[in-house]
């Protein structure tokens, strides 16, 4: 079975095509046949964040050419099924991908599967590391920060926790902006932090008190603490070592994310942690996850950075597992859901 996946929830227009082989238990494997992504990230840079209207328009221009390129790359005329991100994401952006997916599924007369973007971030890992065992997944990007429990890709995913304010990647972008590092600031801040001392400033670890939720996150207090630190130094005419601030901030984010992920794995007696989302490209989040998983005897699975950011292959992979499990296709009347829960 060959499945096309379409992703348009944020600023990436992604179209991926996979071939699924395996039985109906939904534990088969996918081979990637095409992976095309058109990004509008550069158009948002001068605004310091994703502008929904610009993203929608960019999707509209990119969607059909990106689908055509993916079909050419895969060497096929049509897939056996079409899967698309139905939510969560930006309302106008989602509409473009969903309209295209419905139109092509109807024209090709193939089944249509509306899938959850977050599940796609977990599913994509199977392309590199094989069938997904029961796992805890930590998704961190500019738009989401979620701790999930996954028993199988064909079954509903359980949300253990999420951010109560900013997403982790968003915190990286906001702090990078505050430090004058441009947008998106995550990668620049990461590089700068390598030259700084992570113990230079003791920034707060949000929601880690004994009365706080075990699995939820909060990053807005940390962002404010960085702003206060910079302002008070400026008022006092004291120079700040930007690399030290970057490294200390990054350490606080990585510490809380990996601490809560390991807590979830341990509490639930699960042997595997999967990372996903664009911010898992962060060197400290990765290294601390590796250290802590090794110490706890937990297997860590992290897709390559290109698979961690939004793409169509992740949606194709999840759609293929759902289709293979015998689930009913979605009706062509399925509506986008910007706030879709897991
Ligand atoms: O998944 P993604 O491409 O898009 C969504 O937000 O859905 O993630 C992009 C986010 C941005 O906030 C970016 O700053 C952050 O991931 N990011 C990083 C790094 N690379 C990307 N954050 C910290 N360190 C990095 N190396
Ligand atoms: Zn995403």
Identical fold between 2-124+311-324 and 135-305 = yes
* 190 marked as part of a ligand binding site: yes
* d(C-alpha 284, C-alpha 251), whole Å: 7
* d(C-alpha 84, C-alpha 340), whole Å: 14
* d(C-alpha 258, C-alpha 54), whole Å: 34
Q: What is the pLDDT of residue 26?
A: 59
Q: Before 205, cis peptide (omega within 30)? A: no
* DSSP strand pairing (12-21 vs 29-39): antiparallel
* 142 marked as part of a ligand binding site: yes
The per-residue pLDDT for range 241-261, each reduced to its tens digit, is 999 999 999 999 999 999 999
18 in ligand 1 pocket by Cβ < 6 Å? no
Report, in angstroms and rounded to the nearest whole number, the Rg of the chain calculated over CA atoms: 20
Distance, CA 200 to ligand 2 centroid (Å)? 32
151 to each of 27, 135, 272, 296, how far by Cα in Å? Answer: 11, 7, 11, 20
Q: What is the second-level CATH architecture of the domain 135-305?
A: 2-Layer Sandwich (3.30)
Q: What is the pLDDT of residue 85?
A: 98
111 in ligand 1 pocket by Cβ < 6 Å? no
* d(C-alpha 248, C-alpha 228), whole Å: 14
Q: Are 173 and 49 in contact (CB under 8 A)?
A: yes
- Phi, then psi, of 4 in degrees rounded to 5: -95, 135
Neighbours of ion ligand 2 (CB under 5 A): 141, 310
Write down the residue that tokens 């110490």 correspond to. Answer: 295
- Alpha carbon 170 to its chain's center: 12
Q: Are 53 and 40 in contact (CB under 8 A)?
A: no
ipTM: 0.96
Total residues found in the chain within this entry = 342
Superfamily of domain 2-124+311-324: ATPase, nucleotide binding domain (3.30.420.40)
143 in ligand 1 pocket by Cβ < 6 Å? yes
Looking at all shown ligands, the one closest to residue 190's CA atom is 1
* d(C-alpha 260, C-alpha 253), whole Å: 11
Q: What is the pLDDT of residue 262?
A: 98
Distance, CA 340 to ligand 2 centroid (Å)? 13
Write down the residue that tokens 């964040």 correspond to. Answer: 49
Looking at all shown ligands, the one closest to residue 278's CA atom is 1
Q: Mean pLDDT in each 10-residue stretch from start to end of the chain (342 residues)?
A: 97 97 78 97 88 96 98 98 97 98 98 96 95 95 93 91 95 94 91 97 96 96 97 94 97 98 97 95 96 98 92 97 94 96 88
Query: What 3-state class would DSSP assign to 223?
Result: helix
- Phi, then psi, of 247 in degrees rounded to 5: -65, -40
Query: What 3-state class would DSSP assign to 133?
Result: coil
Nearest to 170 by CA among 130, 198, 205, 142: 142
186 in ligand 1 pocket by Cβ < 6 Å? yes
Question: In ligand 1, which atom is closest to the CA atom of 308?
Answer: 1
* d(C-alpha 66, C-alpha 63), whole Å: 5
* 97 marked as part of a ligand binding site: no
**Domain residue spans of the chain:** 2-124+311-324, 135-305
* 5 marked as part of a ligand binding site: no
Q: What is the pLDDT of residue 305?
A: 87
Looking at all shown ligands, the one closest to residue 307's CA atom is 1
Most ligand 1 atoms within 8 A of CB, residue of 44, 122, 162, 169 to mutate? 169
65 to each of 6, 13, 102, how far by Cα in Å? Answer: 13, 10, 16
Distance, CA 278 to ligand 1 centroid (Å)? 4
With 0-12 / 13-18 / 19 or more C-beta atoms within 10 angstroms meaning exposed / middle / buried, residue 41 is middle
Most ligand 1 atoms within 8 A of CB, residue of 37, 251, 279, 284 to mutate? 279
3-state helix, strand, coil in the chain (%, to 5): 45, 20, 35
């Amino acid at each position: 079975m060959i499945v096309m996946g379409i992703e348009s929830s944020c600023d990436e227009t992604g179209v991926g095509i996979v071939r699924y082989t395996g039985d109906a238990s939904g534990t088969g494997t996918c081979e990637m046949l095409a992976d095309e992504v058109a990004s509008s990230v550069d158009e948002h840079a001068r605004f310091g964040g994703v502008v929904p209207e610009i993203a929608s328009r960019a999707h509209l221009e990119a969607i059909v050419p990106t689908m055509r390129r993916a079909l050419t790359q895969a060497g096929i005329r049509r897939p056996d099924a079409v899967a698309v991100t139905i939510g969560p994401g930006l309302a106008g952006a989602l509409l473009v991908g969903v309209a295209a997916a419905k139109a092509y599924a109807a024209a090709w007369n193939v089944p249509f599967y509306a899938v959850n973007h977050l599940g796609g971030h977990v599913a994509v890992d199977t392309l590199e590391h094989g069938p997904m065992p029961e796992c805890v997944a930590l998704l961190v990007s500019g738009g989401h920060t979620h701790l999930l429990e996954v028993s199988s890709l064909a079954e509903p995913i359980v949300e253990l926790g999420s951010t109560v304010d900013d997403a982790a990647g968003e915190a990286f972008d906001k702090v990078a902006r505050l430090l004058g590092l441009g947008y998106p600031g995550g990668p620049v801040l990461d590089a700068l932090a390598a030259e700084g001392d992570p113990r230079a400033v003791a920034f707060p670890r949000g929601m880690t008190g004994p009365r706080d939720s075990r699995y939820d996150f909060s990053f807005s207090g940390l962002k404010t603490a960085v702003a206060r630190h910079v302002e008070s130094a400026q008022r006092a005419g004291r120079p700040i070592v930007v690399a030290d601030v970057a490294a200390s901030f990054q350490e606080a984010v990585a510490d809380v994310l990996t601490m809560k992920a390991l807590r979830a794995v341990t509490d639930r007696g699960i042997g595997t942690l999967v990372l996903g989302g664009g911010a898992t490209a962060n060197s400290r989040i990765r290294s601390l996850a590796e250290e802590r998983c090794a110490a706890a005897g937990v297997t860590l699975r992290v897709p390559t950075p290109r698979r961690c950011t939004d793409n169509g292959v992740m949606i194709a992979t999840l759609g293929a597992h759902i289709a293979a499990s015998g689930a009913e296709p979605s009706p062509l009347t399925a509506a986008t859901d910007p706030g879709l829960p897991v």
